[in-house]
Amino acid sequence: MLRAAVLGSPISHSRSPDLHRAAYAALGLPWQYDAIECTKEQFPEFLAGLDEQWRGLSLTMPLKEVVLDVVEDVEEIAQTVRSANTVWRNDESSSWRATNTDIAGMRNALAEVGVTRVERVRILGAGATSRSAAAAAVDLGATMVTIHARREEAARDVAILVETLGGKAEIADLSPDYRGQDLLISTLPADIARPWATVAESPRVPAGALLDASYHPWPTPLATAWAECFPGLPVASGRDMLLWQAVDQVRLMTGAVTDENRDAVVSAMRAALSTG
């Protein structure tokens, strides 16, 4: 039996097992997929100890950066944003590869709510997910990205990434500010982003859409406030981002997703995500 898993710490909240197992069922694959607690200190030894049964790993915090120092074959986009959430190999004799499917996951989640082009974007947070968000924003045409973060040095790194990718960036603190954006992307845990939800509950009407990458629990306070106070403005779910990044992971790890069966696989994964 071939195997894959999601690794991180903490990991008990992860919905990745539901998504990947649903995909395997739709594809008729007798694969096993687990959730495994793993710290960044444990990761190198864990990866080195995997036998020929293993085909892939989904990575969450705090492993998205350390993997870049462990896996030799890292795709350019993951190197650029310094964040990889996917490790895979196609057979027992091939070496491990790493890539980033979070960026495509964000783009697809936004496309589902009608957001395919933006100019001004605000990003909350300055960690690994925020760098993926910055890349997604530039892909969507953003000409100005404002990074709201507590850690100025980390925010500066995200700003440099935006400029490397061809956009312009500025840094701000975490004080809520809705002026002039087409899109707000929150990469913060729901409790830390809560002040932005409080402001959203005021009569002030912000411009643009919301993508809240936090998905447990869903909806977040920010997503709830946005939907209730600004009806008609698009809200992209962190769950849908999770779905689409996992679709690409299944494609890479199994090699079994085709143009003919992709819709059925996505439908099965979406149904699994909607329960629980």
Tokens of 94: 């091939």
230, 207 contact by CB (below 8 A): no
- Asked if 168 is an active-site residue, the reply is no
146, 123 contact by CB (below 8 A): yes
Query: Comparing C-alpha atoms, which of 188, 76, 61 is closest to residue 123?
Result: 188
Phi/psi of residue 65, nearest 5 degrees? -100, -40
With H, G, I as helix, E, B as strand and everything else as coil, classify residue 273.
Answer: helix
- CA 208, 236, 103, 105 dihedral sign is negative
Angle ∠(77,167,99) on CA atoms, nearest 5: 10
Tell me, rounded to whole angstroms, the distance of Cα 183 from its chain centroid.
16
Cβ atoms within 10 A of the Cβ of 256, count? 16
Among the listed residues 15, 64, 107, 131, the single catalytic one is 64
Catalytic residue annotation: 64
